[in-house]
């Protein structure tokens, strides 16, 4: 396999790109495994005959996701905001957490299927909660 390619002033490191792709695949596989756990928990909750309006299976889903206190805090800041999407800086200001902590937490929430990433009109990264993320935030 070609690791580096150089043509005049242009140099491309394919090895780094391949490593990043492999890491992305690992994150995707981890997220898929968590989704399967959540789906199984939801199925368990639907199979039980619970009175209408009770959501004890939701607690099981949250427990299966192993959502930390910091992750819940970040999700609450995102869902309770007047903005549909949030930046790292905005959530950092709202929660009092450092930008580094918020950034790492965003990554964990994405892996758990609770947060998704997009870009705004100015091509800047923004994040928003998934439906499951909103449920977890409301339970926090």
CATH T-level topology, domain 12-139 = Arc Repressor Mutant, subunit A (1.10.10)
Q: Which DSSP helix (H) or strand (E) runs through 73? A: helix 69-79
How open is the CA angle 52-58-61, to the nearest 5 degrees?
150
- Strands 10-13, 115-119: pairing is unpaired
Task: Give 29-77 pLDDT, tens digit per residue.
Answer: 776 666 666 666 666 655 555 445 445 556 666 677 888 999 999 999 9
pLDDT attached to residue 41: 63
| 59: Cβ contacts below 8 Å, ≥ 6 apart | 139
Task: Give 122-136 pLDDT, tens digit per residue.
Answer: 999 999 999 889 988
Domain residue spans of the chain: 12-139
| Mean pLDDT of all residues in 2-31 | 75
Task: Give 85-109 pLDDT, tens digit per residue.
Answer: 999 999 999 999 999 999 999 999 9
């Amino acid at each position: 396999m070609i690791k580096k390619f150089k043509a005049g002033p242009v140099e491309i490191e394919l090895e780094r790109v391949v490593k990043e792709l492999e890491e992305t695949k690992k994150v995707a596989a981890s997220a898929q495994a968590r989704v399967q756990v959540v789906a199984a928990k939801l199925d368990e909750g639907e199979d039980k005959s619970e009175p209408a309006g009770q959501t004890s299976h939701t607690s099981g889903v949250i427990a299966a996701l192993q959502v930390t206190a910091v992750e819940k805090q970040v999700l609450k800041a995102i869902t309770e905001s007047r903005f549909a999407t949030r930046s790292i800086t905005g959530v950092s200001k709202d929660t009092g957490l450092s930008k580094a902590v918020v950034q790492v937490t965003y990554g964990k929430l994405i892996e758990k299927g609770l947060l998704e990433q997009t870009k705004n009109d100015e091509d800047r990264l923004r994040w928003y909660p998934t439906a499951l993320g909103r449920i977890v935030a409301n339970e926090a």
